[in-house]
Structure 1
Amino acid sequence: MYPNWILQRAYLTPFRKALTFKKQSWTFQELNDESIKRARQLVTLGIQQGDRIAIMGPSKPELVIMMYACMHLQCEMVMLNRRLSQDELAYQLEDSEAVAVLVADEDVEKLPTETTYHLFSAIEKGAEGAVDIVKEWPLHQTTTIMYTSGTTGFPKGVRQTVGNHQASATASVLNIGLQAQDVWLCAVPLFHISGFSILVRSLLYGNQIFLYEQFDVESIAQNIMDGDVTHMSVVAVTLERILHTLEQRNARASSYFKLMLAGGGPVPVDYLARAHALNLAVAQTYGMTETSSQTATLASEDAMRKIGSAGKPLFFNQIMIAEPNAKGEGEICIRGPHVTPGYIGRFAQKNATKAGWLHTGDIGYVDEEGYLFVIDRRADLIISGGENIYPAEIENVLLTHPAVKEAGVCGMPDEQWGQVPIAFIVLNEQVSVEQLKAFCLQKLAKYKVPKEMIITDSLPRNGADKLLRRKLLQ
């Protein structure tokens, strides 16, 4: 048994600032008091301790308090992605068998028709019932359920336990360090593992969260320049937007800013070099929904020496490369206390691990010093004339061209070669497709150069701004 994180943090540091949103702040005691009140309001709706509850809303304090209320009730929270279609949400609600749906007022129209729900505003005005808030949680208790993006077939509902989240947060902080006065800027969705893990670290280590409802590059760049925050979580596309804004302003990161934690897929080497020039420490990390966030992270002192690496496994974690080829490349497998115990719904009988190892479906290798390099998703691999082509390698090259803002590469069926690469590109400035192809020919084998390049206004991304390559051809 481990302490109820919310009660324990409010007991240890009640008056320390916990959350800032726009110009309003809450202490840990205030968040605890508000979330206990909300828990009492939830029980009057018939919600009982241990129930499975679906929850959806934008990243605002109201959502944080509602989630903490559910945690006080030891509910299993199905974290609904507010960017999904009604059909996708309907699948998750049916598959999870959630007994209630809690939704922010502004998101109610996103729900499938005929969904029974409770509005945040109605809950906040409701009567309070009696509830026994337990002081301890078992490690095996499921706290959150997050659906994978469904690379193949149906999305899987991944269970994440108290033990999973606690192990992940502890291993993360053992690696990067975190102090009481640190402030973590959160502009990633709270329904996603990267956002929720920021909440868990705050409760366990007592640091403040600077919450953004949406990614606002101008304001965020100012926070980094002014030293308002010390840490931030990003994906490649949001990192590039921050870099571009700082470069446009001819500005650098404040000396108070400590670390940018970059996940959601490999970060282009060019971005890391640009960040280094701006005094912006970036730690590339590797993790997934099934591992409650980070598994490996590159220490900031290794950022330039091991550029492109996701680092070494964190303290409690292990990584193995299954069935490596002659170059040592194979499927990345993970073992540790942060790995999910399993799934729910239609995948409830599926084992999450084989002989204790989670098989990720990602391709990578570990170098002679033990550093992990993630090459690509196995599902995204392009096999052209018997040659393996990794989309991320082509994207990395395209992103070094000054006219290219974003790039996504996938395989397209081809009668002669089986598959050929095709690129979708968002531009910063005008450039011809012929110029881009000539640029790629200087840096890539001819068979890797995209057979087609399509200029577009945007690329398909999920709720965490991660590129969805499988939707490019659509």
Structure 2
Amino acid sequence: MEMQNWLLKQAETQPNHIAVDDGNEQLTFAELREQVAELVGKLNQLRPGDKVGLLATNSLMSYKIALAVITSGRSIVWLNWRLADEELQRQIADSGLLVCLVEDSLWRVTMSEPFRKYSTLLNQSTAKASLVATFKADRVASIMYTSGTTGKPKGVLQTFGNHFYSAISSALNLGLSSNDEWLCVAPIFHISGFSIIMRGLIYGITVRLVDKFRVTAIEQILVNEPVTIMSVVPFMLNKLVEQQKISHRSYNKSFRCMLLGGGTISRSTLERCLQSEIPVVQCYGMTETCSQIIALRASDALQKIGSVGQPLFTTQLKLSSKGEILLKTPALTPGYLNLPAKLPSKMVDGWYKTGDIGHLDDDGYLYIDGRVDEMIISGGENIFPQEIEQVYQQYPGIKEVAVTGQNDCEWGQVPVAFLVSDQRYPVTDLINYGRQHLAHYKVPQHYYYVQSLPKNASGKIRRFILQQKLSK
């Protein structure tokens, strides 16, 4: 399948519609096309090959450079600027980059070739270049290294077709209006952020870029600007709900929903959202599927607490005999960079093995129990950290909690908890609380206090780092 270049299509059909807004500057699709064409000409002068690395924040220039890469016929290799030098070098070597463009504010004194500052690109003097006329569905648009919550990151290939089907499925679920404006505060080097950019091009709607999550600033935008959708993780939503309790401010009348990924939220938070007329659409997805593929309608949220919903229109779902979630979707990656055997090893009879364990209720709603590789086996019993975390998250004064397994000579493994809290609690109180809500073998016997939990860009807990702390 071949599609007209999405930017060219929108610039032709609605040239005066606002494509992107960063709070300081707005660009129409026609203006964006012209500026991207200039950047493509400059990019060509650097002779980057068929892939270009990006170390970027959610800035307007990063947005434009990303579009310049894909509309020049190249693939973006998104890199996480939070990584250490050694980690970045491994991913650059793996992807074979000749050029990695770095936002000037992210430049490090340790950087040399193939790193190039944005200013180096912008100082190239050249005429506008033509943009590719079409996007082929099987062409790789972007490469993202998996977040590595449990191990070594892998480069996930994401085609234009993958992004297209992800966007279409999302639109069929959420609905679509020409007046939609999607707030993008999720990092654009992560699929939850970049998918918003791609949807903006496919739908022809406005992307409202925000460089960082600051709760008062985000609330100000939601109150005063015509944002209709915002993608959030539980941490963001909880902060926004807490802020609204203080400010008593209502969001703008056009606001439609919070799209929640990276975990489910508690009944109390949902009820506060309902009282404040903030619809919450919980969803499930991954880098390999270009974002959400399963979602829970806001109208079902209170009746289906803990569920991530039902498969979107183009997604098929079933569970293996061991409860692993299996998927079929045209949004699924065609493979992993330089690892040709990896995707086939994760397929069974045409179904993709997600590595997540879940269960379905009688109505076909999916609940995530945990990761196969995060499951704790204690005395022959299977324990999922998320179930324990949801219980202790309700304990008064506990801000965040993460559970992992610790080796035990008697039981094989036992669950232990890491707590973020300003208080210290008697262990007996914590154990007794757990036994009121959980089977005794699921209750942590040891509790460790930390300043913060190690997380990846999407807010998911990096449990292997906690396990490393236990082994020291």
TM-score normalised per structure 2: 0.94
Secondary structure of the residue that 2:307 maps to in structure 1? coil
Matches within 5 A, 1:165-180: 165-180=163-178
1:158/1:411 Cα in 2 relative to 1: closer, same or farther (>3 Å)? same
Partner of 2:16: 15
| Alignment-derived partner of residue 389 in structure 1 | 383
Structure 1 441/251 Cα, relative in aligned 2: closer, same or farther at 3 Å? Answer: farther
Q: Distance in 1 between matches of 2:424 and 2:225?
A: 35
Question: How far off is 1:441 after superposition?
Answer: 2.3
Aligned partner of residue 169 in structure 1, secondary structure: helix
- Distance in 2 (CA, whole Å) between partners of 1:153 and 1:404 is 28
Deviations 1:136-170 (A, max 9, x none): 11100000000112345432111000000000000
What SS does structure 1 have at the residue aligned with 2:377? strand
Q: Which residue of 1 aligns with 2:152?
A: 154
**Structure 1 residue 46: deviation in Å?**
1.5
The answer to whether the Cα contact below 8 Å between 1:183 and 1:230 also exists between their aligned partners in 2 is: yes
1:404 to 1:153, Cα distance in 2 relative to 1, 3 A: closer
Q: Secondary structure at the match of 1:34?
A: helix
- Give 1:231 deviation, angstroms: 0.9
Q: Could you tell me which of 348, 359, 368 is aligned with 2:340?
A: 348
Q: Which residue of 1 aligns with 2:75?
A: 76
CA deviation after TM superposition for structure 1 residue 285, in Å: 0.3
| Unaligned ranges ≥5, structure 1 | 325-329
Residue type of the partner of 1:438? N
Moved more, 262-271 or 290-299: 262-271
After TM superposition, the structure 1 = structure 2 runs for residues 190-201 of structure 1, keeping only pairs within 5 Å, are 190-201=188-199
**1:136 pairs with 2:134:** yes
- Whether contact under 8 Å (2:260, 2:281) holds in the other structure is yes
* Cα 1:251–1:412 shift into 2, 3 Å: farther
> Which of 392, 405, 416 in structure 1 is aligned with 2:399?
405
Higher mean alpha-carbon deviation, 381-390 vs 130-139, is at 130-139
Q: Which residue is 1:419 aligned to? A: 413
Check conservation: 2:227, 2:252, Cα contact below 8 A: no
Which whole-Å CA distance do the structure 2 matches of 1:204 and 1:428 have between them? 46
* Offset, 1:414: 1.2
8 Å CA contact 2:147, 2:457 repeated in 1: no
Partners of 1:271 and 1:85 in 2: CA distance: 35
Correspondence 1:29-40 to 2 at 5 A = 29-40=30-41
Correspondent of 1:337 among 330, 351, 359: 330
Aligned-pair distance for 1:24? Answer: 2.0
Which amino acid is 1:53 matched to? V
- Give the aligned partner of residue 246 of structure 1: 244
Aligned partner of residue 351 in structure 1, secondary structure: helix
Deviates more, 1:234-243 or 1:288-297: 234-243
Q: 1:196-254 CA deviation, whole Å, 9 max, x = no partner?
A: 11011111112112211111111112333446421111111221111221123344544
How big is each residue's C-alpha offset from its partner over 1:299-346, in whole Å with a ceiling of 9 and x where there is no partner? Answer: 11111122211111111111110114xxxxx1001101100011112x
Q: Secondary structure at the match of 2:107?
A: helix
| Aligned AA (1:343) | Y
Task: Give 1:453 shift.
Answer: 1.5
Amino acid at match of 1:334: L
Partner of 1:327: none
SS of match in other structure, 1:419: strand
Output the CA distance in 2 between the equivalents of 1:86 and 1:47: 21
Structure 2 unaligned segments of length 5 or more: list them: none
2:94 counterpart SS class: helix
Match status 1:455 vs 2:457: no
Partner of 1:294: 292
Do the aligned residues in 2 keep the contact of 1:56 with 1:80 (CA within 8 Å)? Answer: yes
| 8 Å Cα contact 2:38-2:128 kept in structure 1 | no
How far off is 1:179 after superposition?
Answer: 1.0
Distance in 1 (alpha carbons) for counterparts of 2:306 and 2:361: 12
Partners of 2:95 and 2:71 in 1: how far apart?
A: 20
Q: Could you tell me which amino acid in structure 2 is paired with residue 322 of structure 1?
A: S
Partner of 2:362: 368
More displaced stretch, 227-236 vs 287-296: 227-236
C-alpha separation between the residues in 2 aligned to 1:309 and 1:432?
32
Contact 1:251 1:278 in 2 (8 A): no
Point out the more displaced range, 267-276 or 429-438: 429-438
Query: Are the aligned partners of 1:382 and 1:391 in contact in 2 as well (CA < 8 Å)?
Result: yes
Partner of 2:373: 379
Which letter does structure 2 place at the counterpart of 1:351?
Answer: L
What TM-score, normalized by structure 1, do the two folds share? 0.93
1:322 lines up with 2:320 in the alignment: yes
Instruction: Give the partner amino acid of 1:233.
Output: S
1:91 alignment counterpart: 90
CA drift of 1:376 comes to 0.9
**C-alpha separation in 2, matches of 1:286 and 1:455:** 30
Matched to 2:333, the amino acid is T
Q: Look up the SS of the partner of 1:14 in the other structure.
A: coil
Distance 2:226 2:435 in 1: 44
Q: How far, CA to CA, are the matches of 2:111 and 2:128 in structure 1?
A: 33
Between the aligned partners of 1:97 and 1:286, the Cα distance in structure 2 is 31
Correspondence for 2:438: 444
Q: After TM superposition, list the pairs within 5 Å mapping 1:192-211 onto structure 2.
A: 192-211=190-209
